[in-house]
Structure 1
């Protein structure tokens, strides 16, 4: 056994299970075969007259096969242990391997029994297993590790320190790794920390930077930040590698010293400029500090991979730098095939942001089915299809997603929601309500879905259903400002429950005093209440702050009712220019100009 390993998930060779099965099959075949041979022997020989019936039977007929009982069947115990492990029954596995080690000369079995006994906190079984392991030839390092681990488990500090000292004194090439395993597996963090700081001192650590970094990392995990930093600084000064600088930088960042951490990362990157991981880490921290240009310059130099392109794109997007986004897109489009393949979703996103819609569709189509972004790519493709005038294809693609992800609620909900949103854009409100309803069957009482369906119901005049959805939403989220505004406007537009509408819109207006949509609701409510001058004032302000078609229709109607037909007609003309097919405008003009 190459080193004692008390891993909670005990793993055996694949041959153990398969070998056991083959053994049982052979044993059964041999036993049954002997019976057949005995019968055949008796029937094949002619009956000899004159010989007493007490003559001796055939030798094979008398033969028996010794079958050991299960407690003394090595492979049966190994199989029992393996089955117990597969069921996470460590106690049963420990018992089985404890028996198996006594039936075998294989030290590996004793090592496994030791690990299991310690894992279930059975010191007596662990000691028996260690003694058996020693008898079968465990190395001094393996024994010292096991005894140290048992001592740590029992809280015997002096014995643990003694055994760990013996472990390190063996000179085993894996001694420090084994030392770390003992402490990592301890349930007593204080004891583990004490042993670490007393034994893993800079003057005792080997001339190997990996050992220094491992002990520093262990100290950090145990909450001994000062020790971790001391060892990290010592490794940095002694070895001066990029890895030691990077780890020392990480510790400073963990402890809130951003300036010191960035300084060390910069030095690490200088020491190994081709190290992509270092460049990514340093550039990411620069980006978090708002130093987008410096981070971008750092990433542009040296080797490129999918991660560097992704971070460069993110930095450019945060900086709203469309020129750099275009540059990254062009470079990534011509990168090696493996990089493009891994970056297909990113390429689709970049193409979409840069308004290269047809190219975006091609990239999204290349996202592999096993990619984490495969579902998102299909959603984005459907949205792009609709924006390009291919609504039928968009809804067809979403229908396929709804079938493919029928057993995955999160994805299924999103597929229905996007389908509903596209129907809203197309002003196909009945289909939108159906899609929202399907989504609500997947995630009942989802606030966003209730809000969307309420809007769709209102658009097709199903006011009671719209009001019911908005009321339910406000029961779930009483402070939802958009829902308050939507319910208030729906009531006001229908000319019903105006006092309640006034209360709802007033609350929304207080929360978002500069929101044009809420101002529109308030102005329309004033119109329904007969306050034409106040309605005109509020709606005119909302119209001027942002030329929204629905606000314009409302303002035009109020002006018309005030007798200001010319001004109203000017507003209507502007709305028609903005949205030639605006349904609200068409219905309003029919009422006002029959």
Structure 2
């Protein structure tokens, strides 16, 4: 059962009491109110006075709501219900309190609880109360507009959006796409954005918003035309260039690459476009050019894990292992999102540099995720190469995958290790034991069929391959293996 995040009971009581006590900033918890403040010793008298005035003005704008026993009781009922996961009770009580008090703080809380309870109608009513009680609040108006848009009520949202755009024009247009994102009628959303943008013909952000809406509506030509206008108003603007490249890439990867290449020739300092260009080069398998761009980006984005990792991986792919080692080692210092992946590739680098101990040390560091099985397989291979086959098998046997797919791959890795050491009988035993755990694993069945062929167990091979074909009817490899075996190893050529 879902539970509502609430303040402790004492904090809830303080919130309720604040409705009748001036001088207490009840609309935010204490942690938010103090965040980022200077130490008292460093604060000037002027700063303290300004802060006090701001608090007083904010408090003065709030309604002077008397704290009656009824209000306090309802507040406690709502909070306790939320803590217990009784969202219907919490939502209904908060909405009733918002109607009764017309207090923007309570109305805002009613919006939050209604949205948590997935009550769109209640959230919209509470948002109307909040916006009416606090008309100067940009957040209240944004929330109301977003909820109206979610309900498809564009006509009601439009005047609110116009006011918001007048107060915060450039940033407002940049955030319009997020507000429009849930609209099912993308063409109506585009028309609304075009109407709003018509009031700001010389604002590049307005043309950018039109382009986003047109792209979402499946009208790339209109989007590109709006982006051309944005570029004329603000040449070299990276957000517009990135959106143009994204639109072009949907129909022609080469066109997107050509555009970004030309843009960078005119605006070489556009590092976000250069990063997108480098990624696109990788996707296009143009690795030499991609490496050059990522290497340049290591200077543009110092201590950036993604950039240094990409440059290191491309260097590894091109055989420049020392540069790859240095870049990947730096990546670990930059707090990468997936250190296990970085350690895995550092292990690969060390293997290429004929440093098995270093490689094994990196593979040991891989403890989770998609690289767990490949790392353990490489560890085991290094042990086997050093004549420690029993240790290698034990390592794989006692490694526990995070899911069935990983456990199947661990069984395959152990069997492959034995096959490489020409112990096909032991490999067959490992795969047969694995099939007792995972009887419908097409991968294990195929591998066992290949081992059975080495041991002249053609009946087992045929049975396993036919089972693979049942499990994966489009598996061309299984069909080919079965046909080849029937033709080459039996007298059933016609059947093959």
So what's the TM-score if we normalise by structure 1? Answer: 0.60
Who is 1:15 aligned against?
Answer: 7
Change beyond 3 A, Cα 1:16–1:280? same
**Given the alignment of the two structures, is residue 503 of structure 1 paired with residue 464 of structure 2, yes or no?**
no
1:107 counterpart residue number: 104
Deviations 1:255-296 (A, max 9, x none): 437335533355347635483x54443234335555443333
Is residue 125 of structure 2 the alignment partner of residue 165 of structure 1? no
1:329 corresponds to which residue?
A: 324
Q: State the secondary structure of the residue aligned to 1:73.
A: helix
Q: CA deviation at 1:76?
A: 1.6
For the residue of structure 2 that corresponds to 1:15, the secondary structure is coil
Write the distance in 1 (CA, Å) between the matches of 2:321 and 2:199.
Answer: 51
SS in 2 for 1:295: helix
Shift of 1:301: 3.0
Q: In the alignment, which of 390, 393, 402 is matched to residue 392 of structure 1?
A: 390
Paired with 1:136 and 1:68, the residues of 2 have a C-alpha distance of 22
User: Of the two, which has the highest radius of gyration?
Assistant: 1
In structure 2, what is the Cα distance between the partners aligned to 1:340 and 1:358?
Answer: 24
Please give the alpha-carbon distance, in whole angstroms, between the structure 2 residues aligned to 1:449 and 1:371. 22
Q: Distance in 2 between matches of 1:354 and 1:191?
A: 60
Aligned partner (choices 196, 200, 217) of residue 199 of structure 1: 196
Match of 1:360 in 2: 359
Report if aligned partners of 2:452, 2:458 keep a CA contact under 8 Å in 1: yes
The structure-2 alpha-carbon separation of the partners of 1:471 and 1:129, relative to structure 1 and needing over 3 Å to count, comes to closer
Shift of the 437–260 alpha-carbon distance from structure 1 to 2, 3 Å rule, reads closer
Which residue of the partner structure matches residue 418 of structure 1? 413
User: Could you tell me which of 366, 375, 378 is aligned with 1:377?
Assistant: 375
| Contact 1:412/1:442 (8 A) holds in 2 | no
Which residue in 2 is equivalent to 1:540? none
Shift of 1:349: 2.1
| Runs of 5+ consecutive residues of structure 2 not aligned to the other structure | 16-67
Alpha-carbon distance between aligned partners in 1 of 2:427 and 2:370, rounded to the nearest angstrom = 28
Distance 2:14 2:99 in 1: 23
Does residue 232 of structure 2 align to residue 237 of structure 1?
yes
Aligned 8 A contact 1:287 1:295 in 2: yes
Match of 1:351 in 2: 350
Q: Does 1:263 align with 2:259?
A: yes
For residues 4 and 101 of structure 2, the distance between their equivalents in structure 1, rounded to whole angstroms, comes to 15
Q: 1:481 aligns with which of 479, 482, 486?
A: 479
**Structure 2 CA distance for aligned equivalents of residues 22 and 465 of structure 1:** 75
Give 1:403-442 correspondences, 5 Å limit: 404-405=400-401, 408-442=403-437
Q: For 1:211-245, what per-residue CA distance to the aligned partner results, in whole angstroms no more than 9, with x for missing partners?
A: 76566434433434344333433333333234443
Structure 1 residue 104: deviation in Å? 5.3
Cα gap change, 1:292/1:428 in structure 2, threshold over 3 Å: closer, same or farther?
closer
* CA deviation map 1:136-162 (0-9, x unaligned): 334264565455456545655543333
The offset of 1:128, in angstroms, is: 4.6
**8 Å contact kept, 1:212–1:232:** yes
- Aligned partner of 2:276 in structure 1 is 281
* Structure-2 separation of matches of 1:336 and 1:157: 47
- Structure 1 residues not aligned, in runs of 5+: 1-9, 24-66, 493-497, 508-594
- Conserved in 2, the CA contact under 8 Å of 1:454 and 1:465? yes
**Counterpart check, 1:120 vs 2:123:** no
TM-score of the aligned structures, taking structure 2 as reference length: 0.70
**Are the counterparts in 2 of residues 113 and 129 from structure 1 also a CA contact under 8 Å?**
yes
Q: Deviations over 1:529-567 (max 9, x none)?
A: xxxxxxxxxxxxxxxxxxxxxxxxxxxxxxxxxxxxxxx
CA deviation after TM superposition for structure 1 residue 114, in Å: 4.4
Distance 2:9 2:184 in 1: 32
Tell me, in whole angstroms, the C-alpha distance in 2 between the residues paired with 1:206 and 1:70: 48
1:503 is paired with a residue whose SS is coil
The answer to whether the 8 Å contact 1:454/1:467 transfers is yes
Structure 1 residue 413 displacement after superposition: 0.9
Which structure 2 residues correspond to residues 203-218 of structure 1 after superposition, within 5 A?
Answer: 203=200, 213=208, 216-218=211-213
